[in-house]
Amino acid sequence: MLELVVVGGSYVGFFAFAHIFFSRWLFQDYEVKDTGVFSRLIFCVCLACSMSILEVVIFELAAVLDSETRQLVWQLDLVVLAFLIAYLIPFVLIFTLAREQQCRRRTALLLATTFELGFLYAFWKLGDYVTLVQDATPQPTTIAWFVSLEAFVSRVSFLGVNFMAVLSGFGAVNGPYEYMSMFWRTVEEDDVRCLEKRLRQNLEMVVTKKKRIVVERRYVASTETTSGRANPLLRLWHWVSPQESKESYLQNVQKEVEILETLSQELFLEIHAMRELQKRAAEMRTLKGRFFNLIGYLFCGFCLYKMVMSTVNVVFNRDRDKDPITNAMEKILYLWPALASWINVRFISDISSLTLVGILVFTQTRGFLIMLLKVFRTFSSSVSNNSVVLFLAELMGMYFVSSFVMMRMNLPTQHKRHIDAVLGPIDYYVYYCWFDVLFVVSALVSLGLLALVTMSKVSRTAIDSFTLHDKYP
């Protein structure tokens, strides 16, 4: 009875949190229409099951609930996520996109069904090109095996590991760049005022050119009306031998306005970023700012360590079967053998593993939710809210399932067996190797792109070459 209360209370709490996150953070400035209720339900169920998986990992280390109950909850969560990720969300997403393009309901159903069949076929064939289960395990090609939990977890985890590795590689580069003061630009007040003056001039140019467009269009309309009434022969002459009208000129001016408006947005964002840097530089002189700067240095060291160790893992093909805590304890006991008689190594190892996994669960969940907010607010203006929510739910399910698989590496051996009983004979070594390779590649690409974007942003907003014709056309 107590186990039922704990499991049921966890599901209710996670679903309530997902609903609050959906309503108050994700959609605080937006409105969901049409299939919004269904999209909300899918998103909340996906987030609740994803968080439940990671919660049971902590329960596994803390010895909360029976082993059979924990495995049952894991299986239930994975079955629900399998149905959502592989079957329901892709179908509903394509159906929603088709309906938004004014397709008929029958046409939208046909498109969604066709895409779902193609998606399932590609999902099936993924196992033929990448070894996702252990070589000694036979892989039957029956439909029953395809819809099994093992087939789903192995394929979704592979896709999610790609997603995780790209995000982790970008975060390993962008995190220190954002949070360490040594990478911040020195912002002078004169530079900010110069950009603000540039922005005001740019806005004046936009207003002037828009006024010119309105005046010219009124003049063209009145001229055509007056010439047509006063002299029909002149109107016929313009029709037979048309002269260059001002329409092409107005189109060119309109293009210039669009370019200037884009530049105004970039200038505004640059000014906002510079003001934020000034504010953060002022906070850095306080005790709180120095503490967070120290945390930033530690985080930078961890990112560098992660990049180096991932490179070493790829180059030297290191064994990843031992969790970090056990590996560290073995090295400590090797250096100080007498330490084993003074402390309870098993107890400290379990507590350390629980703490490490708890930190990983918290940071991964928090980081992914923050990323969801950024992605939604970036694409919600160009794509419908329902489509963005369904796409994020698909990514979220893949991310947390692959996190569950990858987190196995951080657990002691006795806890790994319980996860293996749920996931089956998955070849975890493939995921670890693939993650390290993509992590290193993503970090290097992110480093190059970050340098390129920084230089292009400076060159784009540093030019101050307004001519008299630009300002007063």
How far apart CA 458 and CA 198 sit, in angstroms, is 14
For residue 424, what are its two tokens?
A: 């089956």
pLDDT digits (tens, 9 = 90+) for 53-108: 888 888 887 777 888 888 888 888 888 888 888 888 899 888 888 887 878 888 98
Burial 290-327 (b: 16+ CB within 10 A, else e): eebbeebeebbeebeebbeebeebbeeeeebeebebbe
* pLDDT value of position 114: 92
pLDDT at position 356, please?
Answer: 62
CA distance 239 to 321: 82
d(Cα 312, Cα 277) in Å, to the nearest integer? Answer: 36
For the cut 80, the answer to whether the pLDDT of residue 401 exceeds it is yes
What is the rounded average pLDDT of the residues 338-359?
64
C-alpha 247/C-alpha 236 separation (Å) is 19
Beta bridge partners of 426: 133
Q: What is the DSSP-derived secondary structure letter of residue 133?
A: B
At 122, list the tokens.
């590609």
Within a 13 Å sphere around the CA of 163, how many CA atoms are in the beta-carbon half? 19
Q: How many CB atoms lie within 10 A of CB 223?
A: 11
Q: How many C-beta neighbours within 10 Å does residue 42 have?
A: 22
How many other C-beta atoms can be found within 10 angstroms of the C-beta atom of residue 248? 9
pLDDT at 325 > cutoff 70 = no
Q: What is the pLDDT of residue 456?
A: 64
pLDDT band at 359; cut points 50, 70, 90? low
Reported as a single tens digit per residue, the pLDDT across 156-203 is 888 888 887 887 777 777 777 766 666 666 777 787 888 888 888 888
Instruction: Please give the pLDDT value at position 398.
Output: 85
Please check the confidence at residue 326 and state whether its pLDDT lies above 70: no
**Rounded percentage of the chain residues whose pLDDT exceeds 90:** 1
Is the pLDDT confidence value at 417 over 60?
A: yes
The closest of 384, 400, 395, 430 to 35, measured between CA atoms, is 384
User: Which band of pLDDT confidence, cut at 50, 70 and 90, is reported for residue 113?
Assistant: very high
The CA distances from residue 51 to 141, 213, 303, in Å, are 32, 55, 25
Count other C-beta atoms under 10 Å from residue 390's C-beta. 27
Q: What whole-number distance in Å separates Cα of residue 164 and Cα of residue 127? A: 19
Beta strands in 252-327 (DSSP E): none
Q: Cite the DSSP H helix spans in 231-321.
A: 232-240, 247-284, 287-316
- The pTM for the full model equals 0.67
Neighbours of 124 (CB within 10 A): 15
